[in-house]
Every structure is written in C-alpha cells, then in structure tokens.
C-alpha cells in the first residue's frame, strides 16, 4: 500500500505495520504499546481509508489513525512530523 506524507512517499512492505513503515522511512512518530491501547501513535489522516482488525481501545476520531494497529485499505495521505535528516538539513541551512 502506498503512504504519502509531506516529506516522503513510500510503500509498506508485506505484513509491515503503518507504524513500522513510518519509522523505517525516518518519520518522527511517538509510540508505546503497539496495540491500540495508548493512542500515542495517533496521526492525522488527510485522505484514504483504514480498517482495524481488532477495534482499538484508544479513541480515534474520523480524521485520525492509530499507526500501530490500523490496516490501510487505500493509498493514505498523512500529516506526520518531518523526517529527522530533513529537519537537520533545514536547521543547518
């Protein structure tokens, strides 16, 4: 599945969670439980559709996703923090 942020576009690997894909591509995202309990990995959903194989315990509004436990059903556009290398480049420029 294709994931688009302001900083990168990438595809999730087979059986890779959205959280793991974001971390792999250098996005700064908080997480703790990895099971939908805490809500720390909450991201703003700009467009796309997700499902939850197991309903999360953390509250999720219509324009949010829990990156740890959602399953993308279409291309997703997310508003997440910038990637670490780009942030360092901008700070030194």
Please list the pLDDT of the chain residue by residue as tens digits (93 residues): 999 999 899 999 999 999 999 999 999 999 999 999 999 999 999 999 999 999 999 999 999 999 999 999 999 999 998 766 544 434 333
Count of domains observed in the chain: 1
Q: What is the CATH number of the domain that holds 82?
A: 3.10.20.30
Q: Which long-range contacts (CB under 8 A, 24 or more apart) does 84-90 make?
A: 84/26, 84/28, 85/26, 86/7, 87/28
CB burial class (10 A; 0-12, 13-18, 19+) of residue 66? buried
Q: What is the pLDDT of residue 90?
A: 40
CA 56 to chain centre: 15
The whole domain housing 64 covers: 2-92
């Amino acid at each position: 599945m294709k994931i688009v942020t302001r900083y990168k576009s990438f595809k999730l690997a087979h059986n890779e969670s959205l959280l793991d894909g974001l971390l792999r591509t250098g996005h700064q995202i908080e997480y703790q439980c990895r099971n939908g309990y805490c809500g720390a990995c909450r991201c703003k959903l700009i467009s796309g559709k997700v499902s939850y194989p197991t309903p999360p315990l953390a509250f999720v509004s219509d324009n949010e996703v829990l990156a740890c436990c959602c399953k993308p059903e279409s291309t997703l556009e997310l508003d997440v923090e910038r990637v670490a290398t780009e942030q360092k480049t901008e700070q030194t420029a």
